[in-house]
Amino acid sequence: MSTSHKRTMQILTMSAMSLSFIVATPSVSFAAGATQGGSKLSAQICPDGNPCPPAPEGSIDCTPKAGKALPVECSLAPGKGVNEPEGFDVSSLPGISVTPGAAKSATKFELGPLKAALGKYAAMPVFFVNYGDGTGYGSSSDLRSLNSFPSSHIYVQAGTYTITGYATVDGRTESTTMTVVIEPSNQPDPTPDKVNSGDWDPAATPKANAVIPVASTSSAGGLSIGTGGSVIAEAVSQAPAASAAKAPVVNARANQVVIVSVPSLQDGTDVVGRVKIGNSWKTLPTSEVGDDGVLTLPALTFSKAGTYSVKLTLETGGSKYVTVKIKK
């Protein structure tokens, strides 16, 4: 497949909405830092690095809190709690609406109707999403509450994308799909139409490692990939170096989105990026070098000031490095 065709026909699969409750064993997935069974429970952290919003009024709140036991419904399927009707029907759920942005800008997700349909279950950690660019929020083994979902996502490349959502209840998995067009960053559509997903149909459950999480945290700092923000900055690096010690430096600010462009690479080459956070490396989704020899990294947001090494592993062999310096 030619380089231009690969770029034009990128397929983004948004494995959205997997409603998956564990019936037999109380096993609910919480954000980093939460522990079940111990006395220490921290609030669920959203992709922007801040505590997630309060649960919608009247909903079952499954956000872990210190000193408070979780409601029993947090470990049951919808309709399986005390005095609850059985037969929660995924196929009756509404889909989601997406307002496409241009490349390097925010594509916005409207989850209001889905939250309303879920009612008291809207705050329960039962969802995950695959954005189709190699990243996702949550996974089939790391369920999240709809209340914690990012309201937008940034795609750095233009193209036509198929978005697919998944919902799993009592061992049944169903999916819903939509197709959106992301215009080039220099040719944005001033009035993009909303795109709505279709009906929910039976589907297979994606593997737990099918995507790279958009959010990760550690004592060394947090990194979000592709999550929108109020400020989206662009930074152009000099030619990457063969070693981290000699890597060119680009500057950005903490808690602001930065999209880094790296020149002087072989066009059409697939590149796997990794960002060093503390003593570990966070893998980025595979990107392709453009016809102009420029690699555009995914939109990145760093939660802490510091100096971060970015390693670029080329499919043709060898590695290159750039450094991102984050200021407060």
Residue 212 lies in a domain: no
Q: What is the mean pLDDT of residues 303-316?
A: 96
Residue 281 lies in a domain: yes
Per-residue pLDDT at 105 exceeds 90: yes
Residue 209 lies in a domain: no
Q: Are residues 239 and 186 in the same domain?
A: no
What count of residues does the chain have?
A: 328
Residue 194 lies in a domain: yes
Residue 136 lies in a domain: yes
The pLDDT confidence band at residue 186, using thresholds 50, 70 and 90, is: very high
Q: What is the mean pLDDT of residues 33-48?
A: 44
pLDDT of residue 11: 36
Where does 186-327 show beta strands of DSSP type E?
A: 195-196, 201-202, 212-213, 215-216, 223-225, 232-236, 249-253, 257-262, 270-277, 280-283, 287-288, 295-296, 300-302, 306-314, 319-327
Q: Are residues 148 and 232 in the same domain?
A: no
Q: Are residues 56 and 112 in the same domain?
A: yes
Q: Are residues 158 and 250 in the same domain?
A: no
Residue 78 lies in a domain: yes
Residue 208 lies in a domain: no
Q: Which residue has the higher pLDDT, 273 or 169?
A: 273
DSSP state of 6: H
Give dist(CA 136, CA 149) in Å, integer. Answer: 11
Lowest pLDDT segment from 1-5, 62-66, 140-144, 150-154: 1-5
pLDDT tens for each residue of 49-59: 566 666 667 67
Q: What is the mean pLDDT of residues 58-84?
A: 64
Q: Which residue has the higher pLDDT, 68 or 231?
A: 231
Q: Are residues 241 and 315 in the same domain?
A: yes
Q: Are residues 137 and 178 in the same domain?
A: yes
Q: Which domain holds residue 247?
A: 217-327
pLDDT of residue 160: 84
Lowest pLDDT segment from 2-6, 28-32, 121-125, 226-230: 28-32
Q: Which of 161, 176, 202 is the last residue of a domain?
A: 202
Q: Are residues 126 and 155 in the same domain?
A: yes
Residue 229 lies in a domain: yes
Please check whether residue 25 is in contact with residue 75, taking contact to mean a CB–CB distance below 8 angstroms.
yes
Q: Are residues 256 and 188 in the same domain?
A: no
Q: Are residues 151 and 286 in the same domain?
A: no
Q: Which of 202, 228, 260 is the last residue of a domain?
A: 202
Total domains, the chain: 2
Q: Are residues 232 and 314 in the same domain?
A: yes
pLDDT tens for each residue of 262-291: 999 999 999 999 999 999 999 999 999 999
Q: Are residues 175 and 78 in the same domain?
A: yes
- pTM comes to 0.79
pLDDT tens for each residue of 2-27: 444 344 334 333 333 333 333 333 33
Q: Which of 155, 170, 202 is the last residue of a domain?
A: 202
Q: Are residues 77 and 168 in the same domain?
A: yes
